[in-house]
Amino acid sequence: MDGKKHISDQYERELQDVKESLLYLGAMIEKAMGKAINALLERNSELAREVIAEDDQIDQLDVETEEKCIRVLALRQPTARDLRFIATAIKINGHLERIGDMAANIAERAIILNEEPQLKPYIDLPRMADIARGMVRESLDALVNENVELANKVRGDDESIDALNEQIFRELLTFMLEDPRKIHASLLIMQIAKNLERISDHAESIANRVIYMITGKIVRHETPLKAQDKQIA
Amino acid sequence: MRSRLFYKIMGSYLVFMLLSVAALTFLINREIKGGLTILVMALFSLLAALIFSRKITSPIRKMEIFTRKVCNGAPAGTLLVESNDELGQLAKNINHLVLQQQEKIKLVHKEKRKLASAFTAMVEGVMILNSDNRIESMNNSLMNILGRREDDIINKTLLEVFRNMDLQNALERFKETGEPVLQEITLGGASPIILDVNISPIQGLSGGDEKTMMVFHEVTRLKKLENIREDFVANVTHEIKTPLTAIIGFIETLEEGAIEDRVTAEKFLRIISEHAQRLNRLVDGLLTLSSIELGEIKLHLEGISVVHIVENALPVIQAKARDKKLAIHHDIPTGLPLIMADRDRVAQVILNILDNAVKFTPEGGKVSITAFEDGGGYVVVRIADTGIGIPASEIPRLGERFYRVDKTRSRELGGIGLGLSIVKHLMKAHQGRVEIESSPGKSTTVSLYFPCSL
């Protein structure tokens, strides 16, 4: 009896350990994203270089977390909710690692942009970055608090990111048409916007996985509620 | 000396003996006549024994009920035993003990309340982690700082609640070394909160529990001030250095022979003079600012007419506006109350704002000036342009010295970075204020509130 309890305690600890690793990875990428954006807005290439250097740590933690998940699967054969949690953790881990890569991408482009005079004051880009960061944060909050409602909200936020991305594209197009010397910087900014847009896609995927983890329902091919309502209207 | 209780017990014992002897005699003799007497005697002694024993057991029973009540924590009152023997004394002692215990509990409660109210009222956020590194308790300040409810926090790990790398690393560092750790962390995205966190062990706990105390101190405002100061120092050196470099460069070129070429020399001298003037404007600006801040500037307050000031300022601006093909509309109703202000300073403020409006409005745009009475004892001069605008997040920083929204552009346009700062301070000295509204890419509206003359 006592031995059994001991084993289940150990098992609980292993599950918690996976969760903590995932959240630590989340904390790392949230920080990396913030730094990458600030590197661009404050024209601080030093900060950008830090982000690029720290991406290795993110990759390493990604591997460690996945190994932890596989070990639990192999040794404990979790069932039901625990199994869903581990399966979700493996997927979320991958999304987080990709977000880390995008932050490094943004940082790389920020360094090049910082060499040139600023094309224009950034207005939509920081807004887009705020929404993307918010989505990542909220998707992880939904994971911690097992909050389906919050996860659903994240799935709806993707729309405003797409709209901003398009707006930035249109604006930069006018810059490029006006003056061919602005093409290089404009393209870099577009790539940054694209990266932010993809970060938001990953956040949305995390939210989908969280919903699966809690409800056992796979929703990633369904339109988020909000979008559905709009289509009907 | 024998005690009273001893006599009581001995009495009842004696009665019992008598009873037993009587019963025994009755059994032996079995004589009806003698037996009846003995039976009566025996009954009498039984009654006496009952009375005696009741006298002893009833206070004990009372005490038992009373102490049980006390044990269960029910309000017990006082134990009443009217007896002069040991039982009475025992009851008195019990009463004394209960009273003492109640007072101690009251004291503990009072201390606890004191601690709890200190814990709640503290500005610093306090959090206690249990031996599993889960959050055991936290005070209201921390909940306010984090903007979360208690249920979202209690019994969670730091990573679950904060998801902050620096905080987690600090905790791990503390766990490894056992030494108190101080760490600065930044929480949140769009408007981050900066916190200083102190992690230290809680000592003197029984049961070998290792708890951890974390104290959070918000330093966002301090950090902001620090940034402003750093920016100011960096900017002021930059602003002085730039014209100086140009001046020195051109002088060196002149010295190396360019002075022989009259046309080039004149051009260079003009550039040198421009930069020297810029430097002069900068130093003047800084001096003005510091004297306003120190309250050294004497304002010659008098009742003056806004129309008059604006009409005087317009010709200066119109020349610049014509170059950029800007239309300037002004529509100031006559009959506005006079404002209480220093004529020269108000002119400086209005010129400054108009100059900004013209500077940041692209060709073909429009600048309009209106004025009205706001009903709260102010005359408002409103200058609106159709310029590049200012992002909302930058507006609060506009009054800072050398703060530029677009670092490259405004310098190209010849600003020294002190205009709005001077305006803000002058308006404050006039007991007025500046309000700026803007939609980026479309327009900026500056409203200057001047107090009316009485």
Q: How confident is the model at residue A39 (pLDDT cuts 50, 70, 90)?
A: very high
pTM reported for the whole predicted model: 0.64
Structure letter (DSSP) for residue B300: -
Q: Is residue A36 part of a domain?
A: yes
CATH number of the domain bearing residue A188: 1.20.58.220
Q: Would you state the structure tokens that stand for residue B422, as one six-digit string?
A: 């001077």
Q: What is the pLDDT of residues B156-166, one digit of tens each?
A: 888 888 888 89
CB pair distance less than 8 Å for A118 and B190: no
> Which amino acid is present at B427?
M
Q: Is residue A19 part of a domain?
A: yes
Helix axes A148-178, A124-145, angle to 10 degrees: 160
Phi, psi dihedrals of residue A29, rounded to the nearest 5° = -75, -30
- Tell me which residue of A33, A25, A55 sits closest to A199, measured CA to CA: A33
Q: Where are the alpha helices (DSSP H) in A216-232?
A: 225-232
For A22, the domain range is 8-227
3-state SS assignment for residue B193: strand
Secondary structure (DSSP) of B115-179: HHHHHHH-SSEEEEE-TTSBEEEE-HHHHHHHT--GGGTTT-BHHHHT--HHHHHHHHHHHHH-S
Over 60: is that where the pLDDT of A53 sits? yes
Angstrom distances, CA of residue B239 to CA of A223, B61, B212, B291, B349: 54, 95, 50, 20, 22
Over 70: is that where the pLDDT of B30 sits? no
Give A-chain residues touching B441 at CB under 8 angstroms. 123
Q: State CA B363 to chain mean position distance.
A: 47
Task: Closest CB to B189: pick one of A23, A27, A133.
Answer: A133
Q: Looking up tokens 């025992």, which residue turns up?
A: B90
Q: What is the pLDDT of residues B162-202, one digit of tens each?
A: 888 899 999 999 989 888 999 999 887 667 889 999 999 88
Fold designation for B301-451: Heat Shock Protein 90 (3.30.565)
Fold designation for B123-218: Beta-Lactamase (3.30.450)
CB pair distance less than 8 Å for B165 and A28: yes
Q: Is residue A86 part of a domain?
A: yes
Q: Residue B321: its pLDDT value, please?
A: 83
Q: Residue A226: its pLDDT value, please?
A: 47
Q: How far is A171 from chain B (nearest CA, A)?
A: 11
Distance CA A154, CA A149 (A): 9
Q: What is the pLDDT of residues B409-425, one digit of tens each?
A: 555 556 667 788 888 88
Distance CA B439, CA B417 (A): 21
Secondary structure (DSSP) of B371-416: EEE-SSSEEEEEEEE-S----GGGGGGTTSTT--SSHHHHHHTT--
Distance CA B73, CA B81 (A): 21
Task: Closest CB to B165: pick one of A27, A123, A140.
Answer: A27
Q: Residue B147: its pLDDT value, please?
A: 81
CB pair distance less than 8 Å for B159 and A117: no
CB pair distance less than 8 Å for B160 and A23: yes
Q: What is the pLDDT of residues B90-145, one digit of tens each?
A: 888 888 888 898 899 999 999 999 888 888 888 888 998 888 889 988 888 888 88
Task: Say which residue, B280 or B21, is predicted with more confidence.
Answer: B280
Over 50: is that where the pLDDT of A83 sits? yes
Range from B31-40, B75-84, B430-439 carrying the lowest mean pLDDT: B31-40
CB pair distance less than 8 Å for A27 and B163: yes
Q: How far is A226 from chain B (nearest CA, A)?
A: 24
B406/A contact by beta carbon, under 8 A: yes
Q: Is residue A1 part of a domain?
A: no
Q: Which helix (H) or strand (E) holds B326?
A: none
Distance CA A49, CA A114 (A): 12
**Ramachandran sector of residue A16 (left: φ over 0; alpha: ψ -120 to 50; beta: rest):** alpha
Q: Would you state the structure tokens that stand for residue B84, as one six-digit string?
A: 């002069």
Interface of chain A toward chain B, CB-CB under 8 angstroms: 16, 19-20, 23-24, 26-28, 30-31, 34, 43, 117-118, 121, 123, 126, 130, 133-134, 137, 140, 144-145
Give A-chain residues touching B388 at CB under 8 angstroms. 121
- Whether B98 and B115 have beta carbons less than 8 Å apart is answered as no
Distance CA A99, CA B327 (A): 49
Q: Is residue A152 part of a domain?
A: yes
Mean pLDDT score, B54-75: 82
Number of structural domains chain A divides into: 1
- Tell me which residue of A94, A85, A84, A32 sits closest to A63, measured CA to CA: A94
Mean pLDDT score, A217-230: 62
Structure letter (DSSP) for residue B303: E
State the number of CA atoms in the 13 A half-sphere of B13 facing the CB.
6
Q: Would you state the structure tokens that stand for residue A120, as one six-digit string?
A: 């224009």
Q: Is residue A50 part of a domain?
A: yes
Q: Residue B207: its pLDDT value, please?
A: 61
Q: Is residue A2 part of a domain?
A: no
Q: Looking up tokens 């577009």, which residue turns up?
A: A190
Over 60: is that where the pLDDT of B236 sits? yes
Residues 112-131 of B with CB under 8 A from A: none
Q: How confident is the model at residue A100 (pLDDT cuts 50, 70, 90)?
A: very high
Distance CA B273, CA B284 (A): 16
Fold designation for B224-293: Helix Hairpins (1.10.287)
Over 60: is that where the pLDDT of B388 sits? yes
Over 80: is that where the pLDDT of A4 sits? no
Q: Is residue A99 part of a domain?
A: yes
Instruction: Count CB-CB contacts under 10 A for residue B393.
Output: 13
Highest mean pLDDT among A13-17, A63-67, A214-218, B61-65: A63-67
Q: Looking up tokens 């490029």, which residue turns up?
A: A176
